[in-house]
Amino acid sequence: MLTAFCISSKRGEILFASLFEPSLTKAIFHPFLTELSSSPHGDPPPAFAKDGQNYVYVFRDDLYWVCAVGKGSFLEQCGHLLITESLSQLHRVCSVLCGALTQHSIMANTTLITEVVQETMNGGILQLQTADKLQSHIYSSVVAAKESSAVSAAPGLFGLEKSAPSTAAQQSALAVDTGKRELYVDVVEKVWASVASGGTVIRAEVTGSILARCFLPGNPNLTLTLNTQLLTTSQEGFNTGTRMSEVEFGSGVDVGSGDGGRQLSVMTLPGQEMNIVRYTLSPDHPHLLPFTITASSHSLTPSDSELRLKLTSNTGMGTVAPQVTFRTVAPATTAAVMSRTSGPRDQAVHFSPDNKAITWTISQFPGGSYAQAFIRLVDSGGNAVVESGELEFEVSRWVCSGVRVESVKLTPSVNNLNKWVRYLTTSDSVSLRLT
């Protein structure tokens, strides 16, 4: 039987854990995380033993879904394939219930995932389930980690997005009326980045997925045509296309050769999310982050200083960020802050005296514009400076890689079909140096 289960981020942070023996703690996964960080050839094998513990895992949506297997158990004797399939099935169930899986959505839906794990891993004993069978046993509702309503009011590629939910993560697939004949194609990217004070990108990782959800009778064949080839090999001559370091096509996806490898075809499954392709931008690809922030500090009085922040959107006209949040920590002696802002109307600066945290929030941030905040740090010292901060964002109708879906075709064709193609970029960890 299984002794423990966890979901870990790509950085080795445990986002969710379920222990099936009372004597265990999260420390049972420390050997796994150690092996993850020290493996010289990428990820370790899908099943391995370390420090007396047996581990089986799968890597989905930039998250590690890990099980610890008890010694001498029946599962250990049977091998890891059954556990691997069960973890993949658990991931599919969570994807259907929660939508796009990120670190934020996992932590926001801990209660719901706990119920799913209790049903699929009953006390460490695997139970094979599907989302439709589990739905009647789940009492928690999905918590949207980042609310967005911008896309629902704007026309999109097909001119029909005005009635669509803003992101796939905010609506359960089981809640969509299948009688509406709907097709959703989402290009979703996540960003990890470290940026120097001058705006230079020190390190950036962008991973993306093209997902499809089809609510149609039968199993029509879906064909997508992209604006660029998803290749990991460099081409001769001048090439302006997107460069990838990893490309992984979903099960059953056929990559056409007639259009330079830009056509992807797959048979649809009614009511289920299909991962058509997952990719990672090449490290040498020129990363364009959606926002640039500049900061400066000025002395106002011997006891007070002013922090000036300017946030510029690089996403261009026609895009919008439903919410952008910048977080930093004021000097330890800061007693209060006073602030004024310019730019978009919906801005707020909040100060927490307990942990000295400053939070600057901007709602409905249009692409191509900028916002400014002037924050007076009371009793911080006239020469006080703020060194770094974290930026969180969600940008609609824009992705860092520039990947676009040029056409969507169903074979055989379906009448009265509502099609939505949506683009979404979210931050997972973006740290900024201010000085």
pLDDT digits (tens, 9 = 90+) for 138-184: 777 777 654 333 333 333 333 333 333 333 333 333 333 445 578 88
Q: Which CATH architecture has domain 151-287+398-433?
A: Sandwich (2.60)
pLDDT at 14 over 80: yes
pLDDT at 35 over 70: yes
3-state secondary structure of 212: strand
**For residues 218 and 368, which has the higher predicted lDDT (pLDDT)?**
368
pLDDT digits (tens, 9 = 90+) for 80-138: 788 888 888 888 888 888 877 888 888 888 888 988 888 888 877 887 677 767 777 77
**pLDDT of 56:** 92
What would the mean pLDDT of 40-53 be, rounded to a whole number? 81
Q: Which CATH architecture has domain 291-396?
A: Sandwich (2.60)
**pLDDT of 371:** 95
**pLDDT of 36:** 82
Q: Which CATH number fits domain 2-137: 3.40.50.10420, 3.40.50.970, 3.40.190.10, 3.30.450.60?
A: 3.30.450.60
**For residues 71 and 56, which has the higher predicted lDDT (pLDDT)?**
56
This prediction's pTM: 0.63
Pairing mode of beta strands 305-313, 388-396 = unpaired
**pLDDT of 342:** 94
**For residues 257 and 356, which has the higher predicted lDDT (pLDDT)?**
356
- For the chain, state the CA radius of gyration: 23
How many Å separate Cα 294 from the centre of its chain?
25
Q: At what angle do helices 81-98 and 110-120 cross, to 10 degrees?
A: 140
* 8 A C-beta contact, residue 84 and residue 75: no
**pLDDT of 274:** 84
**pLDDT of 157:** 35
pLDDT at 283 over 70: yes
pLDDT at 198 over 50: yes
**pLDDT of 316:** 84
Q: Count H helices, E strands: the chain?
A: 6, 24
pLDDT at 334 over 90: yes
Domain spans of the chain? 2-137, 151-287+398-433, 291-396
Indicate if 291-396 has the same CATH topology as 151-287+398-433.
yes
**pLDDT of 201:** 86
Helix, strand, coil fractions of the chain, as percent rounded to 5? 15, 45, 40
Its sign, for the CA torsion 104, 286, 249, 224, is positive
d(CA 403, CA 187): 8
